[in-house]
Structure 1
Amino acid sequence: MNANWPSAKFPVKPGDDRDLQRWVETISLRVFGKPFLHRAVFNSRLRTTGGRYFLSDHRIEISPRHLKELGPEVVEGIIRHELCHYHLHLEGKGYRHRDADFRQLLESVNGLRYTPSLPSASRGKGRPYRYVLRCRKCGREAYRKKRMDPARYRCGVCRGALTLHDC
């Protein structure tokens, strides 16, 4: 680890592109034995993926949320994954997920095959319904994910008026 980084345990500050650039260059030399000659940047808009490699300009984007919530060990696995795409693409080999070259290289460098889910992204998953429709006449309940205007509908059993409540 470089002494210029914020700490040995947490090598990059989320959002600091210069530190990320050095970290990716270091991993590329140490693990692949090849230099990383393009840009590596954080992209805070990434939510469902930990990183992306761009074929057009060869840059790598990493999610700062994954660094904050899952730590540097997971992000290093994501960086290794993206560097597999990078090096194979530049060598003219199979760089896609389905290609044998990619799978072999990813396994040999211990890169992550899939990005783990973020803890913050799983909020609300335990309770799939947000609203409950209740009949004023018979008390029957119906659950909904989306909000709706209960005045436009009637109970399917007794034709009574409905009320909408939060779960």
Structure 2
Amino acid sequence: MENKELQALMEMVSERYFRKPFRHQARFNARLKTTGGRYLLASHDIEMNPHYLKVFGKVELIEIMKHELCHYHLHLEKRGYKHRDADFRKLLEEVGAPRFCKPLEAAVRLHEYTCEDCSTHFMRKRRMNPDRYRCGKCGGRIRYRRQREVMQRDVN
């Protein structure tokens, strides 16, 4: 799906669920990492995360569109458009939009270190200088082994 198709879909969703036109720009923004979409207050445009289309499909994308359109229409009507506002929560319920989107699984880089004496393994999210640290068990030198990518759910 390209931006043109996204624009047409956004206009259709706005007419169908809100019975109001969507008169601004809808576009994909691949830099969005933790959210499905965002409504831009200054320009009234809506940006959507293309990863949600790839991972969850068109149905979830439409659900996110309904959520962002709630922000859009309420802001233009000068009503409570923020997540905590009663107007926003009521409109979400009326159109059947979710309050939060499904989380994407993200890969996390971990750096692996090993003690030269006792072979203890250390995993760190941030890289460190092993010359400045010693093993907590035996006091031996620490050596950098490798960088690994693991899924977010494996880290927590």
Does 1:143 pair with 2:123?
yes
Structure 2 counterpart of 1:48: 34
Structure 1 counterpart of 2:152: none
C-alpha deviation, 1:145, in angstroms: 2.7
**In proportion to residue count, which structure has more strand?**
2
Structure 2 counterpart of 1:82, one-letter code: E
Alpha-carbon distance in structure 2 between the residues aligned to 1:158 and 1:63: 48
Structure 2 unaligned runs (5+)?
149-156
Q: Which residue of the other structure, out of 60, 70, 73, is the alignment partner of 1:87? A: 73
Is the 1:131–1:146 contact (alpha carbons within 8 Å) kept by the matching residues of 2?
A: no
Alpha-carbon distance in structure 1 between the residues aligned to 2:120 and 2:12: 62
Does 1:159 pair with 2:132?
no
- What CA RMSD, in Å, does the superposition of the two structures yield over aligned residues? 2.0
Larger Rg over CA atoms = 1
Structure 1 counterpart of 2:143, one-letter code: T
C-alpha deviation, 1:90, in angstroms: 1.2
Structure 1 counterpart of 2:113: 132
Structure 2 counterpart of 1:74: 60
TM-score normalised to structure 2 length: 0.83
Alpha-carbon distance in structure 1 between the residues aligned to 2:118 and 2:54: 50
Taking only the aligned residue pairs, the percentage that are identical comes to 48
C-alpha deviation, 1:129, in angstroms: 4.8
Q: How many positions carry a matched residue from both structures?
A: 147
Alpha-carbon distance in structure 1 between the residues aligned to 2:85 and 2:36: 20
Question: SS in structure 2 opposite 1:130?
Answer: strand
Structure 2 counterpart of 1:146, one-letter code: R
Structure 1 counterpart of 2:154: none
1:90-148 deviations in Å (ceiling 9; x for gaps): 111111110000001001101121111124x2x34xxx8531331x3344444333333
Larger relative contact order (CA 8 Å, sep ≥ 6)? 2
Structure 1 counterpart of 2:100: 114
Structure 1 counterpart of 2:43, one-letter code: D
Aligned CA distance change for structure 1 residues 51 and 165 (closer, same or farther; 3 Å): same
Runs of 4+ that moved beyond 6 A:
none
Aligned CA distance change for structure 1 residues 103 and 152 (closer, same or farther; 3 Å): same
Structure 2 counterpart of 1:58, one-letter code: H
Aligned CA distance change for structure 1 residues 69 and 153 (closer, same or farther; 3 Å): same
Structure 1 counterpart of 2:144, one-letter code: L
Structure 1 unaligned runs (5+)?
1-12
Is the 2:36–2:101 contact (alpha carbons within 8 Å) kept by the matching residues of 1?
A: yes
C-alpha deviation, 1:156, in angstroms: 3.8
Structure 1 counterpart of 2:22, one-letter code: F
Is the 2:112–2:121 contact (alpha carbons within 8 Å) kept by the matching residues of 1?
A: no
